[in-house]
Copies of this chain bind each other. A is one copy, B any other.
Amino acid sequence: MAKLYHVPLSPFCRKVRLSLAEKKIECELVEERYWEQDPDFLRRNPAAKVPVLKIDGKIMAESSAICEWIEEKYPEPALMPRSADARYEVRRIVAWFDDKFHQEVTSKLLYERVNKKIMKAGFPDSTNVKAGAKAIKYHLDYMAWLLDHRRWLAGDNMTLADFAAAAHLSALDYISDVDWNRSEVVKDWYAKIKSRPAFRAILQDQVPGFPPPAHYADLDF
């Protein structure tokens, strides 16, 4: 069986978990405290990051490269459209979340509030937390603008772009940092994606010391 080395709230791990689950690829989850630099783990991935996926005799790192590989090896159900233009749009939005959103929001809220405590790396920096809380509004508005024109973030079908976005937002929702009342279309989009069977395991995640709010796993939030 495939094995995924991960941490529960990592958006990059969640994106891979969603891809695997959507394609019904069974996978054992192994929590990996990568910041403790266990030598065995470093041998699996010299970049010392999660996710690391062990599958079909291969060991892989880098979430986007992993998701493209999964898509090419397990094409059904498709998470990438067919045309080059539509595929570009998916990849652009994945990069938007994994780069820009991650830098402006996820690293400023989740990493300050949760990772620092787990890694024993000090207290949240309130300047960062404030900046992240401000930036997420702009990103939710950008999503709303996209969803005013499309059923899903990158077009009329659900794709990896939706999983990348939902991976970040679900991790932030675990610490109540998403204002779902800001936009009706974004809330509807999240309700749709949250109710997919592929999302179930993510809604059951529990991080010791950080109990999730009641609405986190509620499909009718």
Interface of A toward B, CB cutoff 8 Å: 46-47, 58, 60-62, 64-66, 68-69, 72-73, 84-85, 87-88, 91-92, 94-96, 99-100, 142
Question: Taking CB as reference atom, which chain B residue is nearest A94?
Answer: B65
Tally of this chain's copies: 2
Check A87 against B100 for contact (C-beta < 8 Å): no
| Residues on the B chain within 8 Å of A61, using CB | 92
Check A85 against B65 for contact (C-beta < 8 Å): no
| Residues on the B chain within 8 Å of A46, using CB | 142
| Residues on the B chain within 8 Å of A85, using CB | 58, 69
Complex Cα–Cα for A133 and B124 (A): 30
Mostly, the A contact residues are helix
| Residues on the B chain within 8 Å of A96, using CB | 47, 62
Question: Taking CB as reference atom, which chain B residue is nearest A60?
Answer: B88
Known contacts A60-B92, A62-B92, A95-B62; is A47 also within 8 Å of B84 by CB? no
| Residues on the B chain within 8 Å of A91, using CB | 62, 64-65, 68-69
Check B88 against A47 for contact (C-beta < 8 Å): no
Sample of 13 more A-B contacts, CB < 8 Å, known A47-B96, A68-B88: A58-B85, A58-B88, A60-B88, A61-B92, A62-B92, A64-B95, A65-B88, A65-B92, A65-B94, A69-B84, A69-B85, A69-B87, A69-B88
